[in-house]
Amino acid sequence: MDSKEFAISIVDLVLSKKGYNIKLLNVKSISSISDYFLLCSADSDIQVKAISDEIEDNLSEIGIKCFHKEGFESLNWVILDYFDVVVHVFHKSAREYYNLDKLWGDAETTTFAEN
């Protein structure tokens, strides 16, 4: 599975926990950090944790380990680093404040509709 397919498979996990405002940013040509950033929003700390846990648990079950993770202490912005795909799970207010959508505005963006 290539990195885009991998990122899209994570979108389904986000949607299963009612994440929204989901965007996949293709940063391959503008950054050496990763191929894709997956951004999503949640309305509460509990939902940020639920989305993050859903991703990590499901990927771990199929043998895909998270290289690095941050943000579980405050649950405002959790980062799950899978090398080629970095997942950003934001509390709604943190998403607005940090505005990664605009910071990486040069990236090709795919938006996913909520169910």
* Within-domain flag for 21: yes
Domain total in the chain = 1
Q: What pLDDT sits at residue 75?
A: 92
- In a domain? residue 111: no
Distance CA 90, CA 77 (A): 4
In a domain? residue 81: yes
Residue ranges making up the domain that contains 14? 3-105
Q: Residue 14's pLDDT is what?
A: 97
Written as tens digits, the pLDDT of the chain (115 aa) is 799 999 999 999 999 999 999 999 999 888 888 999 999 999 999 999 999 999 999 999 999 999 999 999 999 999 999 999 999 999 999 999 999 988 888 888 999 988 6
The model carries a pTM of 0.94
Is the residue at 46 inside a domain?
Answer: yes
Structure tokens at 32: 């050496």
114 inside domain: no
Domain membership of residue 62 (yes or no) is yes
The domain that holds 75 is classified in CATH as: 3.30.460.10
Whole-angstrom CA distances from 80 to 25, 33, 34, 51, 56 are 15, 13, 12, 11, 8
Indicate whether 64 belongs to any domain: yes
Residue 110 inside a domain? The answer is: no
The pLDDT of residue 115? 67
